[in-house]
Structure formats: structure tokens, C-alpha cells
């Protein structure tokens, strides 16, 4: 049995890491990857380990939550690192140690393993985690799509028809030099409706295509992807159209949408109603808004309310974005003054 080991922070996992892992997988019978905790990136250890699990299901992951913080070539640091690795392996023998770093020498010696260096000069894959962290968007060619998707903040705007979602999503994307996702459900309805209605089976087709288009756009988005509605809105429409009935595909995808987005904003009904032919009136707008609010409450989905003019709404969203941290606790934003900010906006109006 030939068993390999490699380790790192994978902050984030990039093509250089992948080349090292793939080289090891081609050469040994079993590969262990030890993933260290770190504060150089906001992405949790479980997510970084999850990237490797998703891409390389045969790899065995060891999550190193309590790893030593020292990094360098001093005898003390080397001994501390070696002792920790041996402790985490708990007697499992390693025949090959894979790395692209100087520590391959002393760690492989401590393991009694072959020192297998892969692209140490960074000539085959000329990148490092430090360089990637400076600008994820500019270096996204070195990141697998599942990794890059986790580095983009997905912002979703919800609300009844004629609450300014589309205008706000487009404006935010223009301001942040990124992309926005139009409401696919509206496009589908215009193409397929009969007497202003679509069937339950047709509702089942909307959410998969909406998500598929989002997945394409996120790979070209810079820091944020602003989304005009999501499958939760489609779910509420289906219930409203069909007396509470919803198909299984849409039901599941609406449930998945609860965690698919990083931030939810509810656009209020305090702007003039745009009574276009495809809408059902201002009274219906208010009823539908109540249904969305109740649905979010049932799902326990936290959201921020935006109201006022477009300029005021943009200001409110930007204030939240300025406080938000990917994988952070959204309630921390509320605790740091969002209520005061909204109150000041009210006073200005």
C-alpha cells in the first residue's frame, strides 16, 4: 500500500493545489489531505475541505482545527509542525509526502516518506493563494467553478410585482461593475401563458432554468451577483395561481433557495404602481407582498427591507453590503446600526 499525504490551508483551492492532488492520486493507492484552519480567508475550513471532497471523492480529509500557527524553518517550528502532523495521523503510515514548499524536506523525513515535490518553482501553474486573494475576479481562471462560486456574494431582491426589483438589481450591478440575473419566470410567463395563466407542470420548468442561468452568470461576476427574484418567488406565484398547489421540483428548489443566496432584500410597495397589461392591479400587489412576507417567515429566512426612492434604496443596500462578510452572521449587521440607518432614511423623506 502506497499512501500519500499533502496539507495546506487551500485558501482558496486553486489549480496549483489541484495539480498536486491529481499528481498524488495518480501515483499512490490512497491520498490523505490535511486542511488547516486559517484567518487569511473568510471561507470556513469545512467549506474549503468540501471543495476537495466534491472534486476528489476518493481523497480522505483530515480537518486540522488546532494546527500550530508557526510557519518557517526554525528548528522549533519544524518540530512543532512534525509533532502535530504525526499526532493527527494517529499511527497511519505515509509512504509519500506531496508538497510544493520547502517544508517537504523535514516533514517527509519525520514521516519516513518520499519527499515528492510538485511544481515547486510554480512554472507549470504560475499562481499562489496570496496572489489570488488580491483579486479573485482577475485570477478566476486558476479557480474551479465550484470554488469561484463560493467566493461571490449572491444578493437576491424579492417583492411583489412593481416593487422596483429589476431596476434595483440592474442599478446595483452597474454600480459594482458586475452582473445581474433577470427574473426568468417573467420571461417564461410571457412566452407560455394562456389567458394569463400557466400550468403546474410549466411552473416546474422555471426554477431549474433560472438556477442554471445564475450558475453561468456567477462565473463572470465580480464580487457580487445581483438576482431579480429566485425560486421562492416562483413558488409563491404557483400557490397563488393554483389554489395552494405546488409541484415537487419547485417545492424542493424553493427550499434549496433558502441557502443559495447570501443576502435577501425585500423591496417595499411604497413606490408608484406601474399598471402594465401583464399585472393585476395595486391591490393584488399588496396581497402578493403579504404572501411573500409570510412565506419568508415560514422559512425563517432573514431579510432586509429597502424602501424609498431608487437612490435611497441603493444607499440602503450598499450600507448592508459594506457591513456584510461572506460566511458571516447576517444578524451582526443588524446589531451594528442598520435600524438607525433605515430610520435616518425615513427622516430624510
pLDDT score of 223: 97
Rounded CA-CA distance 192/94 in Å is 61
Average pLDDT over residues 38-45: 95
What mean pLDDT, rounded, does the chain reach? 92
The pLDDT confidence band at residue 346, using thresholds 50, 70 and 90, is very low
Is 152 a residue whose pLDDT tops 80? Answer: yes
Cα 153 to its chain centre, rounded Å, is 6
pLDDT score of 334: 72
The pLDDT confidence band at residue 279, using thresholds 50, 70 and 90, is low
Average pLDDT over residues 335-341: 46
Rounded CA-CA distance 259/237 in Å is 20
pLDDT score of 280: 61
Rounded CA-CA distance 184/209 in Å is 8
The pLDDT confidence band at residue 311, using thresholds 50, 70 and 90, is very high
- The secondary structure element, H or E, covering residue 305 is strand 304-306
- What's the Rg (C-alpha) of the chain? 25
Average pLDDT over residues 212-217: 98
Is 214 exposed, middle or buried (CB count within 10 Å of its CB: 0-12, 13-18, 19+)?
Answer: buried
Which residues are within 8 A (CB) of 308 and not within 5 positions of it... i.e. 6 or more apart? 270, 316, 345, 349
Average pLDDT over residues 321-326: 95
Q: Are 217 and 181 in contact (CB under 8 A)?
A: yes
Strands of 51-182 (E only): list them.
60-64, 96-99, 114-117, 153-158, 179-181
Least confident of 23-27, 218-222, 269-273: 269-273
Is 184 a residue whose pLDDT tops 60? Answer: yes
- The secondary structure element, H or E, covering residue 250 is helix 248-260
Least confident of 106-115, 171-180, 191-200: 191-200
The pLDDT confidence band at residue 347, using thresholds 50, 70 and 90, is very low
The pLDDT confidence band at residue 19, using thresholds 50, 70 and 90, is very high
- pTM of the prediction? 0.90
Domains of the chain: 3-138 (3.40.50.620), 152-348 (3.40.50.300)
Is 276 a residue whose pLDDT tops 80? Answer: no
pLDDT score of 96: 98
pLDDT tens profile 194-210: 888 899 999 999 999 99
pLDDT score of 340: 45
pLDDT score of 278: 56
Is 65 exposed, middle or buried (CB count within 10 Å of its CB: 0-12, 13-18, 19+)?
Answer: exposed
Amino acid at each position: 500500500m502506497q499512501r500519500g499525504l499533502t496539507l495546506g490551508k487551500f485558501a482558496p483551492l486553486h489549480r496549483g493545489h489541484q495539480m498536486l492532488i491529481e499528481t498524488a492520486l495518480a501515483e499512490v493507492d490512497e491520498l490523505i489531505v490535511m486542511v488547516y484552519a486559517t484567518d487569511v480567508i473568510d471561507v470556513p475550513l469545512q467549506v474549503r475541505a468540501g471543495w476537495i471532497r466534491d472534486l476528489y471523492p476518493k481523497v480522505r480529509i483530515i480537518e486540522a482545527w488546532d494546527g500550530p500557527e508557526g510557519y518557517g524553518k526554525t528548528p522549533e517550528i519544524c518540530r512543532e509542525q512534525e509533532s502535530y502532523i504525526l499526532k493527527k495521523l494517529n499511527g497511519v503510515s505515509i509512504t509519500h509526502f506531496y508538497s510544493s514548499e520547502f517544508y517537504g524536506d523535514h516533514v517527509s523525513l519525520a514521516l519516513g516518506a518520499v519527499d515528492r515535490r510538485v511544481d515547486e518553482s510554480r512554472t507549470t501553474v504560475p499562481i499562489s493563494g496570496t496572489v489570488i486573494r488580491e483579486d479573485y475576479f482577475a485570477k478566476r481562471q486558476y479557480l474551479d467553478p465550484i470554488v469561484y462560486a463560493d467566493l461571490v456574494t449572491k444578493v437576491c431582491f424579492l417583492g411583489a410585482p412593481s416593487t422596483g426589483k429589476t431596476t434595483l438589481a440592474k442599478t446595483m450591478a452597474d454600480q459594482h461593475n458586475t452582473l445581474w440575473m433577470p427574473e426568468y419566470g417573467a420571461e417564461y410567463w410571457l412566452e407560455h401563458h394562456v389567458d394569463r395563466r400557466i400550468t403546474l407542470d410549466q411552473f416546474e420548468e422555471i426554477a431549474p432554468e433560472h438556477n442554471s442561468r445564475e450558475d453561468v452568470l456567477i462565473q463572470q461576476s465580480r464580487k457580487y451577483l445581483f438576482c431579480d427574484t429566485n425560486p421562492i418567488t416562483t413558488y409563491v406565484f404557483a400557490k397563488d395561481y393554483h389554489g395552494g398547489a405546488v409541484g415537487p421540483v419547485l417545492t424542493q428548489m424553493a427550499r434549496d433557495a433558502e441557502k443559495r443566496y447570501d443576502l435577501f432584500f425585500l423591496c417595499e410597495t411604497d413606490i408608484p404602481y406601474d399598471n402594465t397589461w401583464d399585472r393585476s392591479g395595486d391591490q393584488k400587489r399588496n396581497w402578493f407582498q403579504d404572501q411573500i412576507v409570510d412565506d419568508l417567515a415560514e422559512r425563517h429566512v432573514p431579510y432586509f427591507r429597502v424602501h424609498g426612492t431608487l437612490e435611497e434604496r441603493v444607499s440602503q443596500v450598499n450600507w448592508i453590503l459594506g457591513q456584510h462578510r461572506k460566511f458571516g452572521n447576517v444578524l451582526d449587521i443588524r446589531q451594528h446600526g442598520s435600524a438607525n440607518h433605515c430610520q435616518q432614511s425615513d427622516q430624510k423623506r
